[in-house]
Structure 1
């Protein structure tokens, strides 16, 4: 059975009420388009062929979930795939000048499709979590901010070692609005994350901090497009990658400055640690500039842990595994410190420690420190 046959079988296995006309139209569009091929430049390092090995019952949604039967124009095959199987999702507008104290946490479904609109001057936190052991999950979201709105957005992927994840987020940012986003990938067998940012009006801004740390045979691919369409917009992108074992990571970030987008201020930095000779990271930050009065920088670095720093720690009695964990956590901390709320940051930090050789010793030290603080 070929890949597309798998998806057709998964669709036909849904309850009759879930096989709506809109969903079937989406399925037909997906079958006609197919999955992206590695012959495409944007997919050259990520092959979705492993999806062919998944059984039909691993591809479909929770049959008890509500369905979205709204008509849609499909962007491409993956968009149609998500529309065919998406079961429930966030659909909300935050009223003008309203601040939400509690984060928005959409209910986890096998396939999700979200819409979030922040009206003028509103503020919110959104946590999109694709963790868990579900074999296959797609999450698509359209997020728009009106003038002066603020959003703290967290995308977490701490999926099981056999999990497959595809996400696509589209962010539209209006005048003087801002999105502060943190992306974290610590799990999964095959993950592809796309982020499209549209800085549509003067004063719009986006700050992106990301950490990808695949292990084992894991593969994670982050593709980011930032469109500066208006003057006086700002973008800051700082990603850090850590790869060990036979893991592979891909980062591709394009900042495009459109004509008339004068006074653009953009910075893109990607730093990577390769901790095993069999691990691989491909990182490519890019700039495409069509305006002449801009300030744009970009760069990527690759390396290993600092041997002098390791030697310093070892001479002070720190075991080698713990020393390597300390240095690796310091490298990751530049990203993790941006996660709010604190309980989410703590959980992500503990998960990162669990996949490191000296993680148990590090956690023991942390617990001892907390005990001493409680006694003082």
Structure 2
């Protein structure tokens, strides 16, 4: 199983230490793909700003394999997907019946590496709550989602991590006719946070909406990548993302929208705004549009800036100290996507988390610089 001189030999060794019942054919195939591809490197465009070198030395720890999620990674899976398919445990495996309306949310929590499979039947409705382990040295959570005709899924994802946590999530979703996927994400802190959202609007009338906020602080990196493939007519996609970076924090947002031939009447909009709060902070944002149809409405844009000096002057003229005025403007900037979260309970929770995080994490020196 791999060469003894391979830099990934420790993954092969860790696999052989799994319980016999966990060393399934699908897992072994995933391991072979991992050993062949390795983990992604900055040589790849999608990983240009994110180096996983430190993760290559980590060996998956002991896990509970009572529940063994089956299923090989997709044919186009990269090494990270293969890693997750090799070592993931105890993921959701849910089939929601047609026309069902789940009263309770699906919960994707826990430690270690998880792989989840969710199928939402025709005209059914569900809510998925993703809560990552804030103390994880290295955690991956991968989701395979399929929405049938008229199905609706709301995803609420939070990452509120300690400075040493390294957390990676990836959602692959296929949307049927008139299906709706609504995603709200909040990324706060951590050493490394990476979130991929890949949506295939496969049939007419499919709709995806994303609203997100990320706050990169300390020396941490938060990297968000999205790809929406419009493959059928009358599809709709919306992205509203706000990013903040301070201290030596780095943020990345790459949003790619592809309108395939025949996807006429596509309506797509992508808005990304970024606020840089200290000289050493950095944000790289790259909206991308590929259009191969001639009757579409598509728009995208990314902005970068610092706090509005006119607004700052106004608040100071009303008696607010400069540090407090800067903090208030920072919070107001961060709140725009959060206010649009449709789930009231999660919206209020997210607003409180972000306010607390900014108050504790943005000291006066960072705000004033």
TM-score by length of 1: 0.88
Q: Alpha carbons of 1:71 and 1:305: their partners in 2 closer, same or farther (altered >3 Å)?
A: closer
CA distance in 1 between partners of 2:203 and 2:319 (Å): 55
Q: How many angstroms apart in 1 are the aligned matches of 2:360 and 2:71? A: 50
CA 1:37/1:322 → structure 2, altered by over 3 Å: closer, same or farther? same
1:85 has 2:109 as partner? no
Per the alignment, in what secondary structure is the counterpart of residue 108 of structure 2? coil
- What is the match of residue 30 of structure 1? 34
Q: In structure 1, how many angstroms separate the alpha carbons of the residues matched to 2:160 and 2:70?
A: 30
Following TM superposition, by how much is the alpha carbon of 1:11 offset from its aligned partner in structure 2, in angstroms? 3.3
Residue 22 of structure 1: how far off its partner (Å) = 3.5
Give the superposition deviation at 1:283.
0.3
Q: Deviation string for 1:150-202 (max 9, x for gaps)?
A: 11111211122111122211111111111111121112211221111111111
Which runs of 5 or more structure 2 residues have no equivalent in the other structure? 364-369
SS at match of 2:84: helix
Match of 2:237 in 1: 235
Residue in 1 that maps onto 2:69:
68
Change (3 A) 1:68 1:151: closer
Q: CA RMSD in A?
A: 2.2
Cα contact 1:60–1:85 (8 A) shared by 2: no
Deviation at 1:280, TM superposition (A): 0.4
Q: 2: CA distance between counterparts of 1:71 and 1:131?
A: 25
1:139 corresponding residue in structure 2: 141
Instruction: Provide the secondary structure at the position in 2 that maps to 1:35.
Output: coil
Shift in Å, 1:138: 0.8
Residue of structure 2 equivalent to 1:48:
52
Deviation digits for residues 238-297 of structure 1 (CA, Å, limit 9, x no counterpart): 111001110111111111111111111111111000001100000000110011111111
Partners in 2 of 1:85 and 1:260 — Cα distance?
39
User: Contact conserved, 1:18 with 1:63, CA < 8 A, in 2?
Assistant: no
Tell me what 1:128 maps to: 130
For the residue of structure 2 that corresponds to 1:135, the secondary structure is: coil
Q: Is the 8 A contact 2:212 2:241 kept in 1?
A: yes
* Whole-angstrom distance in 2 between the partners of 1:246 and 1:291: 42
Residue number in structure 2 paired with 1:244 = 246
In the alignment, does 2:199 pair up with 1:181? no
Cα distance between partner residues in 1 of 2:22 and 2:179: 38
d(CA) in 2 for partners of 1:243 and 1:137? 23
* Maintained 8 Å contact 1:14/1:60: no
Q: Distance in 1 between matches of 2:6 and 2:195?
A: 24
Alignment check: 8 A CA contact 1:121 1:146 kept: yes
Aligned CA distance change for structure 1 residues 61 and 323 (closer, same or farther; 3 Å): farther
Match status 1:259 vs 2:270: no
Judging changes above 3 Å, is the alpha-carbon distance between structure 1 residues 70 and 42 closer, same or farther for their aligned structure 2 residues? closer
Counterparts of 2:187 and 2:206 in 1: how far apart (Å)? 27
Call closer, same or farther: CA 1:14–1:229 in 2, change over 3 Å. Answer: same
Q: Which residue of 1 aligns with 2:315?
A: 313
Of the structure 1 ranges 256-265 and 332-341, higher mean CA displacement relative to structure 2 is found in: 332-341
Partner of 1:172: 174
Higher mean displacement: 349-358 or 106-115: 349-358
Say whether the 8 Å CA contact 1:158–1:185 is kept in structure 2.
yes
Please list every run of 5 or more consecutive structure 1 residues that lacks an aligned counterpart in the other structure: 362-376
Contact map agreement 2:173 2:198 (CA 8 A) in 1: yes
- Work out the CA distance in 1 between the residues paired with 2:130 and 2:359: 28
Q: Distance in 1 between matches of 2:285 and 2:210?
A: 16
Following TM superposition, by how much is the alpha carbon of 1:15 offset from its aligned partner in structure 2, in angstroms?
Answer: 4.1
CA-to-aligned-CA distance 1:296-346 (integer Å, 9 cap, x gap): 111100001111211222222223332222211211211112335444333
CA 6–280 in structure 1, closer or farther in 2 if over 3 Å, else same? farther
Q: How does 1:320-331 map to 2 (within 5 A)?
A: 320-331=322-333
- What residue in structure 1 maps to residue 303 of structure 2? 301
Provide the residue aligned with 1:333 in structure 2. 335
**How far apart in 2 are the matches of 1:8 and 1:214?**
34
Q: TM-score, normalised by structure 2?
A: 0.90
Q: Cα offset for 1:91? A: 0.9
